[in-house]
Chain A
């Protein structure tokens, strides 16, 4: 039953994803990709659980390495997306009079 329920969540999320992403303009495709990439770093949640379970040294070790990589993904992804998106600016005024030649 658990598997069916999770599959249900999966299918709905995929449809939701298609709806959301198809509205993103081509101009923002690179930040979209790095932003989505940061979201895929959500594996961090799973990695934290494994790293902290304290059940088996090997599992903790695998978890800890996973935490490192997932954090790179999350922190790097969000920061670089923010850096890119901050560069997209609207024109300040219709034309820029008095701009230094």
Chain B
């Protein structure tokens, strides 16, 4: 097949990617959209296999089968709670693929200076994506400590790595050779830089990191596209890069922080919130049931703690009981609840919560005063009124779900420890707040038991 002919099919593939992403704008069409996108990928791959340049098939056949098996197995096995870790690993594997494709492109004859720069970029971005993703995976799966790791002169060290990267890149450009020591130096420094970039970022900021690494994996594919002068890599890579950047931006806005602030400072390192004191009003399952039974509107506000307690199924069960009881039930999800964008929604969907009951922060806040009971499950910072009231709070200015404005608030909490950001939460002392202490799953089950008994 001639190059022109191949490019025609690449246009078809690109169009399918675009249509696929477009159909992701509604849950009703999203499955089909994903399928269209997969068909696009299939077209691109098959057409490439028919190109003249490909002479040896045995290597790649084995490689592709191994990859497909690992991918399929991972996709089938992964628990929905572990999705952030999985996506981190997939990002990393996209990154390393781009790094290797860039590296292999060095062996192509007649490379120009522009192509050499593209090769260096695909190695750099691919390398950062790989090691950064592995770090993110480590933090998310709690293989390593998830808190921010900050040490003195961290920025100086990072700046030095960056300078060394640029210097090695420049030295490589002076004498591009397949075995240039500067090539290996760039690879090593990129990997090191990825590690250094992610370690100072704490667990609560992981949604930003995952989004950003997602974007990098696209940009790495893009750079690899430039290195081998391939249209479809550039188009698809740019689409993914844009997706990651938009998500990163949404996450940053939802935390009222700039990207620079997330990337370069450990969370809550500077400010300490005003100490809040007060008396909490505990409640037991029996009383909680009485209040819920009388409620005509109930909204559940889930956080990462719900995933940890695996409480999503009992929450849905309670939701159904309340609905049959005549209450209007909704699930209000904060953009940064969980460890990646949209994580809570996936968990609730897995527990069979219909997607029309999932509402966003901006939809629930204007009508939260009319909600009879807001049930906070494993969420803390995203419902902390200190974000509105206390200028000294590290989360001051962050948009929150204003559950304290609901008529009654139930907070399910293991004990009186502070949340991820280490912030005291005045919500717990609110006039209309009742604390339901204990494991979230057990607490909800106990309330369900009261309804049935």
Contacts and interface: CB of A to CB of B under 8 A. Distances in A.
A90 B355 contact: yes
A73 B437 CA distance: 42
Interface residues of A, number: 87
Nearest to B98: A43
Interface in A12-40: 13-18, 20-40
Interface of B is mostly: helix
B356 A91 contact: yes
B74 A14 contact: no
A90 B354 contact: yes
Size bracket, chain B contacts: 35 or more
Contact of A62 (B103, B214, B225, B356): B103
B360 A26 contact: yes
Main secondary structure of the interface of A (DSSP, over half): helix
Interface stretch (B57-65, B136-144, B272-280, B404-412): B57-65
Contact of A30 (B22, B224, B225, B345): B345
Most buried by B among A9, A18, A40, A101: A40
B238 A14 contact: yes
Interface stretch (B239-247, B290-298, B369-377, B419-427): B239-247
B63 A38 contact: no
Given A31-B34, A64-B59, A48 B54 contact: yes
A30 B85 CA distance: 12
A88 B71 contact: no
Contacts of B53: 49, 52-53
B349 interface: yes
Interface in A27-77: 27-56, 58-77
B34 A48 contact: no
Interface of B: 17-18, 20-22, 24-28, 30-31, 33-35, 37-38, 41, 44-45, 48-49, 51, 53-57, 59-60, 62-64, 66-68, 70-72, 74-76, 78, 80, 83, 86-87, 90-91, 93-94, 96-98, 100-101, 103-109, 114, 178, 210-211, 214, 217-218, 220-222, 224-247, 250, 320, 323-324, 333, 335, 340-343, 345-346, 349-350, 352, 354-358, 360, 452
Q: 4 tightest CB-CB pairs across the interface, nearest first? A: A17-B242, A71-B67, A29-B342, A76-B71
